[in-house]
Amino acid sequence: MTILLFGATGSAGGSVLRVCLADAGVSEVRVIVRRPTGLVHPRLREVLHDDYLRYDAVRTAFAGVDACFYCLGKSVRQVSGEAEYRRITHDFALAAAEALRAASPQAVFHYISGSGTSLTSRFMWARVKAEAERDLMAGVDAVCWRPGSIDGVPSASEPFGYKLFRPVARLLLRPFPSVYITGTDIGRAMLVATRQGVRNRIFENAEMRELAKVG
């Protein structure tokens, strides 16, 4: 199985990358990144790219792919406003999904969204994520994942507050399947869903933790 991964230098994506590389059933992991991951592995192929709305220059990276794990994103606290958040959260994801459909039409697109996502939410981030889910599911039968508090690998790009909160979340939230999940379990759940042929589906946090146990 060949996996295309976005967000490999982030906390969730970095965890998913390590799960994929450790899985004997994954023959290659291609990562689209702005900067190197710093990892060296015989089944890892890094593709440096900085325009997440256009992929003509790296079209071959999308060919012969079985699944795309889209883990790219930013906290709403890290952007200047709705326009920037929408471009990163919605527009980047749709562009990647369209490139995948053109080069590997049978591949499945997995999108990390977030717990609380809703088109009618009073929170901008939740509405934008819901619009991305809606458009991805309508366009490419995407599988959407709604994690709560993600306990992933440390990342240079994550907000400082996340670093401080991680040990607390690990201690206090782990017993609650609806609000806590490790990045490792996200990766495992994505691989299980890919192997099961799941399409056009939303997984909430508790479902993700259960699915991860299968793998």
With residue 128 as reference, give the H or E element that holds it.
Answer: helix 124-140
- Give me the pLDDT at residue 207, please: 97
- Give me the pLDDT at residue 176, please: 61
Residue in the block written with tokens 């609650």: 176
- Give me the pLDDT at residue 48, please: 97
Pairing of strands 28-33, 2-6: parallel
With residue 182 as reference, give the H or E element that holds it.
Answer: strand 180-182
Compute CA distances 130 → 5, 32, 44, 81, 177, whole Å. Answer: 21, 24, 31, 17, 22
How far, in Å, CA of 27 to CA of 61, rounded? 14
Global pTM value: 0.91
Q: Is 19 left (phi over 0), alpha (psi -120 to 50) or beta?
A: alpha
- Give me the pLDDT at residue 153, please: 77
How many other C-beta atoms lie within 10 A of the C-beta of residue 155?
Answer: 18
- Give me the pLDDT at residue 12, please: 94
Residues of the chain with pLDDT under 70: 154-176
Edge-to-edge, what's the strand order for the sheet holding 28-33?
Answer: 44-48, 28-33, 2-6, 67-70, 108-112, 143-146, 201-204
Q: Could you give phi then psi for residue 148, rounded to 5 degrees?
A: -90, -115
- Give me the pLDDT at residue 53, please: 97
- Give me the pLDDT at residue 160, please: 56
- Give me the pLDDT at residue 75, please: 87
